[in-house]
Amino acid sequence: MAAISFEEIMFTIMSATQDTFKSYMNIDLLAGKVEKKVEPVDSDVTGIVGIAGDRVGYIIIATDRASAQRVAKELLMVDEADEECIRDAMGELANNIAGVFKTKYHEQYGSVALGLPLVISGQLRTVSEQPESAESSINVQCKGVTIPFKTVDGTISITVMVYM
């Protein structure tokens, strides 16, 4: 069995993101330009799921508060999205997208395990860009891709990052 390339993983995550939005929320997302590097991201809400097994890494979904609220309302089918709803929805979104990776590559990688979703807020920066006095940020040391998505009307804008 041939090894799976990082590009194949990237395209799987892209389609998983678009399929998750379409299946669970009937929302079409357009993918923007993929950056094959770690990009600093300012976000109000970030969902992270760790991947373990023969392939180790993270799938990270970052967004602004308005997009997170819209996702929470649509995904959880509620009229108003409070902080708990937003946390639940972003964790579920990250978990669903990571679940597609696990399902698709289970045969290739064997026992692929997903961590529990972690939902945070703040700024994601690479270690080299990290100011010494910065608080509330996560240092990302691995290589990966950054994929921006948005709806046609611009009401939802998210960034999906894959580090492996």
Q: What is the CATH number of the domain that holds 26?
A: 3.40.1550.10
Residue 27 near residue 151 (C-beta atoms within 8 A)? yes
Residue 1 belongs to some domain of the structure: no
In a domain, 91, yes or no: yes
Compute the average pLDDT of residues 20-27: 94
**Model-level pTM greater than 0.85?**
no
CA distance 73 to 7: 32
Q: What is the pLDDT of residues 63-84, one digit of tens each?
A: 999 999 999 999 999 999 999 9
With respect to residue 69, please indicate whether it lies within any of the assigned structural domains: yes
Q: Which of 127, 120, 124, 4 is nearest to 55 (CA)?
A: 4
Q: Give the pLDDT score at 132.
A: 54
Total domains in the fold of the chain: 1
Q: Is 40 within 8 Å of 129 (Cβ atoms)? A: yes
Decide if pLDDT at 10 tops 70. yes
pLDDT > 70: percent of the chain: 80
Burial call 6-35: b when 16+ CB within 10 Å, e when fewer: beebbebbbebbbebbeebbebebeeeebe
107's torsion region: left (phi>0), alpha (psi -120 to 50) or beta? Answer: alpha
Residue 58 placed within a domain: yes
In angstroms, the CA 86 to CA 120 distance is: 11
Domain that includes residue 145, residue range: 6-163
Q: How many Cβ atoms are within 10 Å of 58's Cβ, its own excluded?
A: 20
- How many Cα atoms are found within 13 Å in the side-chain-facing hemisphere of 133? 0
- Is residue 142 domain-resident? yes
Residue 32 lies in a domain: yes
Examine residue 43 and state whether it is found in any structural domain, yes or no.
yes
Question: What is the C-alpha to C-alpha distance for residues 125 and 147, in angstroms, rounded to an integer?
Answer: 16
Alpha-carbon dihedral 160, 143, 15, 93, rounded to 10 degrees: -40
State the Cα–Cα distance between residues 73 and 89, nearest whole angstrom: 8
pLDDT > 90: percent of the chain: 52
Of the two residues 102 and 125, the one the predictor is more confident about is 102
Task: Answer yes or no: is 22 within a domain.
Answer: yes
